Structure 1
Amino acid sequence: MNLFNVYPLFSINPVKAQGSFLWDDKGEKYLDFYGGHAVISIGHNHPYYQNKLKDQLEKISFYSNSVQNELQTELAEKLGKISGYEDYNLFLCNSGAEANENALKLASFHNGKSKVLYFSGSFHGRTSAAVSVTDNPKIVAPVNFSERFIKSEWNDIKQLEEIFEAQGNEISSVIIEGIQGVGGIMIPKAEFLSKIKELCEKYNSVLILDEVQSGYGRSGYFFSHQEFGIEPDIITTAKGMGNGFPIGGVLIHPKFQATNGLLGTTFGGNHLACAAAIAVLDVIKDENLIKNVQEMGGYIEDEIKDFPHVKSIRRKGLMIGIELDQDCSEVRKNLLYNHHIFTGNSNDKSVLRILPALNIRKEETDLFISALKTVLENM
């Protein structure tokens, strides 16, 4: 049997990782400035994280959600405290797409409405409803398409108001990324988020903040929307939550009523996943990583903003988009193969996406800055 060939692969086979570095099967060392799509939040193989998982493996690694699991309770308490959402409830699942599926479903159960408003440039996942609110026709299969899903332009208040005026009584929820990642590090305007919140309250629609990539300290706030003082009805999270161990979560306002069987999952919130997620929260808190995010993000921007070919820097914390005056693909390849640095791209072909670990150190950022300067000066 062969693998289903859906991924364009770099000819690199990582076999070891530590901190912000990877090593391939030939012994070559690479700087990881992408973290597997913002997944590696506290660095590869952090010793505290490793020990938490090893200790849990010695006890129990999995049982279903038909029994009590005190690790779920500990995770919910710690997540509520560090995020400031202690009065919300937590539903645990396995991925960002699954978190968004459950958020959309819960919203519809809550108000009995069926339409969903999403935005241009969005990416919310590849599963049924999540892909239907993702702005990429290439990955929306015919079975996923429905006129119930309404697209509005990013940061366009006028169009937003027109859609609500025409269909607000049918709109179950509005789903928006705290910062668009795949879309090219697109940051919502404060007045845009405020208007969404206002219209959701007026029309009894649910505001879902997708913080799958922009959450967990990535933006310099625990959740990126907190910079704007917005309180969503539902918040979804995943990527940085388990530092590589699959886990997702839905933070749910107390106005939503839970009933037995309303939501469910086999693997979500299992013992190992919870141990990983608890370790991540402990490290973020104990090592003051959100402060580090703010400092290192600002340092990187200051150092690279005047480099040749750089048009603009789109940044919140360590969620960074470097907009070039041309397609970034050759720059990305040059950084990878000639300087051994992993970076990312986006649907905006000119934007190089940077998502290093939250505990990145200055000497590691300097390696990236020096390499980027060399590449851009030699273009």
Structure 2
Amino acid sequence: MNLFNVYPLFNINPVKAEGSFLWDENSKKYLDFYGGHAVISIGHNHPYYQTKLKEQLEKISFYSNSVQNHLQTELAEKLGEISGYEDYSLFLCNSGAEATENALKLASFHNGKKKVVYFSGSFHGRTSAAVSVTDNPKIVAPVNFSERFIKCEWNNINQLNQIFQDHKNEISAVIIEGIQGVGGIILPSEELIFSLKKLCAENEVILIMDEVQSGYGRTGNFFAHQEFDIQPDLITIAKGMGNGFPIGGILISPKFKASNGLLGTTFGGNHLACAAGIAVLDVIKNENLIDNAEKIGSYIENKIKGFPNIKEIRRRGLMIGIELDEPCAEIRKKILNEHHVFTGNSSNPNVLRLLPALNITEKEADLFINALESVLQNH
């Protein structure tokens, strides 16, 4: 049997990782400045993280949600404390797409309505409803398409108002990323966020904030939307939540009432996943990684802002988009092949996307900075 060939792959096979570095099967060392799509939040194989997982493996790794699991309670309490959402509830699942699916379902259960507003440039996942609110026709199969899902242009307040005027009694939810990641590190305007909050409140519409990529301390706040001092009704999380172990979740406003069987999952919130999630939160808190994200992000921006070919730098913390004046594919390949640094791309072909671990150091950042400078100067 062969693998189903859906991924464009670099000819690199990592076999070892530590901190912000990877080693391939030939012992070649690479700097990881992308974190596997923002998943590696506290660095590869962090010793505290490893210890917590090993300890849990020696006890119990899995049982279903038909029994009590006090690790879920510990995770919820620590997440509430560090995020400032102590009065919200937590539903645990396995991925960002699953969190999106359950958030959209929960919103519709709550208000009995069925239409959803999403935004151009968005990415919320590849499963049924999640891909329907993702702005990429290539990955929306005919079975996923429905007129229930209404696209609004990003930061277009007039269009947003018109959509609400036309469909206000039918809209169940609006879903928006705290910062668009796949879209190219695109920041929402203050006007968009406050307009959304007002329109949703006035029309009994649920505001879902997708913080799967922009959350968990990456932007210098625990969640990107906290820059605007608002509280969405539902917040989806995943990626950096488990530092590589599959885990996702939804933070749920007190306005929602739980009932037996309303939501469910086989693997979500299992013992190993919770151990990983608890370890991540402990490290973020104990090592002040939210502050470090802003400190090192600012350091990188200041160092590269005068480099040639850079049109714009969009950044919050360590969520960084470098828009070049040309497609970045060849530059990205040179950074990888000549300087052994992993970076990311986006749906905008000109944008280089950076999502390093939150505990990256200035010394490690300099390796990327020097690589980018060398490639751009010799391009």
TM-score (norm 1): 1.00
Cα offset for 1:152?
A: 0.1
CA distance in structure 2 between the aligned counterparts of 1:353 and 1:35, rounded to whole angstroms: 11
Deviations 1:40-69 (A, max 9, x none): 000000000000000000000000000000
Structural mapping, 1:1-379, within 5 Å: 1-379=1-379
Q: Deviations over 1:270-316 (max 9, x none)?
A: 00000000000000000000110010000000000110000010100
Runs of 5+ unmatched residues, structure 1? none
2 CA distance for matches of 1:150 and 1:255? 25
User: What SS is found at the alignment partner of 2:249?
Assistant: strand
Give per-residue Cα distances to partners, 1:320-357, cap 9 Å, x unaligned. 00000000000110011110000000000000000000
Aligned partners of 1:335 and 1:286: how far apart in 2? 33
Matched position secondary structure for 1:42: coil
Letter in 1 for 2:280: V
SS in 1 for 2:168: helix
Q: Given residue 23 of structure 1, which amino acid in structure 2 is its aligned partner?
A: W
Distance 1:194 1:89 in 2: 24
- Structure 2 residues without counterparts, runs of 5 or longer: none
- Could you say what secondary structure the match of 1:161 adopts? helix
RMSD: 0.3
SS of match in other structure, 1:17: strand
Counterparts of 1:263 and 1:119, CA distance in 2:
26
1:231-260 deviation line (CA, Å, top 9, x unaligned):
100000000000000000100001101000
Give the Cα separation in 2 of the matches to 1:282 and 1:189. Answer: 32
Q: Secondary structure at the match of 2:169?
A: helix
Q: Which runs of 4+ in 1 moved over 2 A?
A: none
Identical residues among aligned pairs (%): 76
Take 2:13 and 2:196, find their aligned partners in 1: how far apart are those partners? 44
Rounded to whole Å, the distance in 2 between the matches of 1:282 and 1:169 is 43
- 1:175 is displaced (CA, Å) by 0.1
Q: With structure 2 as the length reference, what TM-score do the two structures score?
A: 1.00
Q: Could you tell me how far 1:190 is from its partner in structure 2? A: 1.0
Q: Distance in 2 between matches of 1:258 and 1:227?
A: 29
Q: Which whole-Å CA distance do the structure 2 matches of 1:28 and 1:37 have between them?
A: 21
Per the TM alignment, residue 168 of structure 1 is displaced from its structure 2 partner at its CA by 1.0
Give the aligned residue type for 1:359: N
State the distance in 2 between where 1:168 and 1:129 align.
Answer: 20
Amino acid at match of 2:22: L
CA distance in 1, matches of 2:47, 2:27: 22
Query: Aligned partners of 1:82, 1:331: CA distance in 2, in Å?
Result: 38
* Whole-Å separation in 1 of the counterparts to 2:291 and 2:231: 22
